[in-house]
Chain A
Amino acid sequence: MKYMLIMNTPRDGYTQYMNWPKKILEANAAFMGTFTKKLIDAGEFVSAEGLSSPEQAVLVRAGTDGRPITDGVFPESKEFLAGYWIIDVDSHERALGIAAEASTAPGVAVKAPDGSAIEHLWIELRSIMRGREDIA
């Protein structure tokens, strides 16, 4: 079963990211590298990408002449896609486990000294449609 793990970011998420301490940025890169490698080693990795800042994003559609018409960024959007993984796993539980692990990526600090106040980021888990039977 294929799933997409979606990581979203608030509008200012990229600015926040740019202001992360160097140690945390390095840790984040190391975490992502290990995470991907583990998926590859387990034969569960399909693909993964991170997206650049939505500041550079445009809306595009074809005009009546077929040529692209563009519009600015999405003024009403609060959240943007920051990146995704596509995985191929044996069970829904496994997909949930992988998504939970992805949510622990170093970034904002999440844990009080007594272990409470876990604030890991949310990962959106979507299964990838195989055919019309998956729509319902």
Chain B
Amino acid sequence: MTSPPDHDVERLLRELAPLALGAVVRRYRDFAASEDAVQEALIAAAAQWPLHGVPGNPLGWLIQVAGRRMTDVARSEIARRGREALVVTEAPDSASMPEVHDVDPDDTLVLLFMCCHPALTPSSALALTLRAVGGLTTAEIAKAFLVPEATIGQRITRAKASIRASAIPFAIPDAGERAARLSSVLHVLYLIFNEGYASTSGDVVHRADLALEAIRLMRDVHKLLPQDGDVIALLALMLLTDARRTARTGPRGELIPLDEQDRTLWNRASIDEGIALASEALARGSLGEYHLLAAIAAVHDEAPNAAATDWPQVLQLYEMLMRAAPSPMAALNHAVATAMVEGPAAGLALLEPLRSDERLQSTHRLDAVRAHLLERAGEHEAAAALFRTAAARATSVPERDFLLGRAERYAR
């Protein structure tokens, strides 16, 4: 046994979390109780392993410790299987470690399908996924989402109650249901990624972790479903977007827009991998939203500088996106691309009907985009006023500061 640094233990635990949970649910059936038990085992490991070293069979350790926690809630079942209730105080010995065949790599996928079930609200599914599959503690999730720990705890409890009530089986859904369920999984992972990348609230601390966690889970899904075009496309989209993370904020945490980023800071390896995956996904056909978003991200990442961006191609791709998956955010970006190709007036004209779109009433984004286009059109006073309006409504600190900075340029 060696005493590894904390972050190594943390990474190991996140990798093992879904495998341990899968094995425990498989044995005890009760998802909600198993999830609690594994969570407790993870917390125990996080406390003990950095001090006393990682056990020889860390996964077996987690399964066994979680199994002991289950004895209270599942004593009858253990008895039925002729298993002996273990004494909790002792460290598990290797002779009683669970066999490897208890562990099925597909469990990660099964757990994702359970946690991202369409019957759950996205916010509950998000929290449950991060804990059950991502191996994050409730406190870590709460910190990342900047909400009280109790709130996350409640969401997880609610999600588990829904799973119990709907009797979602612990199994990979049949082919018929799989497509719909997989799209829920991808949607939740995309939300987690965006929450980490685009930071809709608070400061930026801990946020990058969420984006990285989404990518890690996405890689797991990709490993399990390497032939699925949507899976490949979403992984590509995440990598191509996350590649710009370092360049996206300045030394004081301020937001730097795409056209002003230092592109030498972009992560080449992520871009290369993302472009290869995007090409693979696109070449598989059956194009959907993630394919088109990945293609757009690839076009941006391929441009050596902002001026070299192939905006006509970006615009064509947004036009396809507006036909396939129209959404307020797609409409805003479509208007920006139109402005870049046909001039700001054309972009502003496309934004007009969006001013009455209810879905955009709660965000500052429409005002921010209008302000940018007015700025490009030379209408500096109107732009400054709208930048201020947008800033007042922005929920993320770096974004608010960025918008105020823009407004400042045209003060007086």
Contacts and interface: CB of A to CB of B under 8 A. Distances in A.
Given A21-B316, A23-B299, A24-B320, A110 B325 contact: no
Contact of B187 (A21, A26, A104, A113): A113
A111 B316 contact: no
Given A20-B316, A21-B317, A23-B298, A112 B283 contact: no
Given A22-B313, A23-B282, A105-B285, A115 B180 contact: yes
A30 B289 CA distance: 20
B283 A109 contact: no
Interface residues of A, number: 26
A73 interface: no
A87 B320 CA distance: 32
A24 B233 CA distance: 13
Given A21-B313, A109-B291, A120-B286, A114 B180 contact: yes
Interface string A92-136: 000000000000111111111111011010000000000000000
Query: Chain B interface secondary structure, helix, strand, loop or mixed?
Result: helix
A109 B292 contact: yes
B320 A109 contact: yes
A24 B321 CA distance: 12
Contacts of A31: 283-285
B325 to A, nearest CB: 5
The residue among A24, A107, A118 with the most chain B CB atoms within 10 A of its own CB is: A24
B288 interface: yes
B162 to A, nearest CB: 19
A113 B183 contact: yes
B283 A106 contact: yes
Contacts of B317: 21, 23-24
A34 interface: yes
A19 interface: yes
A58 interface: no
B210 interface: no
B382 to A, nearest CB: 33
Nearest to A109: B324
A106 B187 CA distance: 22
A125 B298 CA distance: 36
Contacts of B285: 27, 31, 104-106
Contact of A106 (B183, B287, B310): B287
Interface string A2-19: 000000000000000001
A85 to B, nearest CB: 15
A37 to B, nearest CB: 12
Interface string B319-332: 01101110000000
Interface string A27-45: 1001100100000000000
A53 B183 CA distance: 38
A21 B320 contact: yes
B389 interface: no
Given A112-B325, A115-B183, A21 B295 contact: yes
Given A23-B295, A24-B282, A106-B282, A112 B320 contact: no
B179 interface: yes
A108 B325 CA distance: 12
Given A20-B316, A21-B313, A21-B316, A109 B282 contact: no
B288 A110 contact: yes
A72 to B, nearest CB: 31
12 contacts: A22-B310, A22-B313, A24-B320, A26-B283, A30-B279, A106-B287, A109-B287, A109-B291, A109-B324, A114-B183, A115-B179, A115-B182
Interface of A: 19-24, 26-27, 30-31, 34, 104-115, 117-118, 120
Interface of B: 179-180, 182-183, 187, 230, 278-279, 282-292, 295, 298-299, 310, 313, 316-317, 320-321, 323-325
Top 6 closest pairs, chain A to chain B, by CB: A111-B288, A109-B324, A27-B282, A30-B283, A104-B285, A21-B316
